[in-house]
Structures are given as C-alpha cells and as structure tokens.
Amino acid sequence: MFRRIVSASRASSGVQRTFATAKPKKAASDRPAKSAKFKTTSKKNEKGNDSGKYDVMLRALKGREPEEYTWSEEEKREHFEIGRTYNRMTSVRHNELMKDLQMKINLKWAAINALPTDELRNEALVEDFSLVTNRRGFPTWTPPIPGFKRFRED
C-alpha cells in the first residue's frame, strides 16, 4: 500500500528510516510456529483479507504518542499558583452567586410573611403557569429605531 523511496546516500549510510505506522519486525525465531489449521484458512483469504490495511489505517489515525515534556521546578511552581488562584477565584464567584440567590429567597419569604392575612399568603404561594402574552416586548440593549419595520407589508 505504501512504498518508501530511499535515496542512495541514505541507503549507503546505514541509516534505516521507516514510516510512523511501521511495525517492528520480529526475528523468525521469535515467531510461533503456525499449525496446519491456520495455514489452510490463510490460503482462502489471500485476496480478500483487509485486516492489514485496517491496522495500517488505525495506526495512522492514532498517530504517535507525544513526547512527555519535563517541566522545570519554577514552571511547576508557577502553574501550581495559577491553578490555586483559579480555584480561589471560581470559589469566590460561586459564593457570590449563592449569596445573591439566598438573599433573593430571604427577601421573597420576608415579603410573603409581611402580607396581612393568611389568604393573601396562601395566594402568594400558588405558582402562576399562565402564558406570557405575545404583545410583551423583550429587553434589548438599544431602543427601537423609529419607522423601522422588520417585515415588509406587501
């Protein structure tokens, strides 16, 4: 499937270069002997066997593992401080949001408890699931442009 062209200068220098997807070859003594059962099945699938192509494609897609970078002690210390600061600031932001939410809940209950009668309190606790009207506008950053029509009237 892939063919490597090696120039004469590299071939004579003794340096052997291979593709990233090339498997290291085992010596003949390292390979286990095949039984007769497997030899007959391999003859059947000589033309239609795509598992080798699949392995090459899979190794090409996976690629090589990146080399592990070694961090100096100063870089490790700096990254640790960055992480610590990030953790502290996200905790501060979370606590501010939770404080704001709890304040809204407390004000809601204070307003409900300030109602004069039990009937009004019970009515205030009933959730309103009615739909919002279509005429209601939505908040925007700028006021509407006078005379602007979003859709043409034909």
Confirm if 115 and 126 have CB atoms less than 8 A apart.
no
The residue extents of the domains of the chain are 73-115
pLDDT in tens, 54-101: 888 888 888 888 889 999 999 999 999 999 999 999 999 999 999 999
Confirm if 19 and 4 have CB atoms less than 8 A apart.
yes
Q: How far is CA 23 from the centre of its chain?
A: 31
Please give the model's pTM, rounded to 2 decimal places: 0.43
Report which of 59, 78, 53 is spatially closest to residue 20, judged by C-alpha positions: 59
Query: Cα separations (Å) of 83 from 80, 87, 114, 153?
Result: 5, 6, 46, 57
pLDDT in tens, 107-138: 999 999 999 999 999 999 999 998 888 887 78
- Across 22-36, average pLDDT: 65
Tokens 């004469």 locate to 8
Can you tell me the distance from the alpha carbon of 102 to that of 97, in angstroms, rounded to the nearest whole number?
A: 9
